[in-house]
Amino acid sequence: MTKLTLGSYPYLLGFDQLERLVERTAKSGNDGYPPFNIEQTSDHSFRITLAVAGFAEEDLTITVEDSQLNVRGAQQDADDDRVFLHRGIAARQFQKSFVLAEGVEVGAASMENGLLHVDLTRSVPETVVQTIQINKPRGA
């Protein structure tokens, strides 16, 4: 059986990048840590909220690279001599990646009660109608 790709459909021109984007997202290795929510805050805006209890603002890095939002967390090693009888609060490093569609921009980020909020907005593309003139062949 032949695998159908977006390039196999003659009316979907230029969508090969979308297929690569889906493959990249599937390979991003995102596990379930830290847990997160994505909510729609208006018709053209979203908020990603990550549960980052135990992380300080200095421990978190938010970057956008090649249409991908990356949130990384790495806690500084404490120099105290604490002895844990039980350690149930995760303190491991993480990287969470979100692929952004064209026109989606990252706005502000804020921390509140152990939750990291990242606001996104999507610009509404303007409808453009273009008329293409048909040229006569040379020498006709």
Neighbours of 45 (CB within 10 A): 15
The reply to whether 24 and 43 lie within a common domain is: no
Is residue 130 assigned to a domain? no
- Is the whole-model pTM more than 0.95? no
Q: What averages of pLDDT result for each successive group of 10 residues across the chain (140 residues)? A: 65 74 66 91 96 92 93 80 82 88 93 97 89 85
Contact 95, 72 (CB under 8 A): yes
The reply to whether 49 and 2 lie within a common domain is: no
The reply to whether 19 and 45 lie within a common domain is: no
State residue 119's pLDDT score.
Answer: 98
The reply to whether 56 and 116 lie within a common domain is: yes
Residue range(s) defining the domain that contains residue 8: 1-30
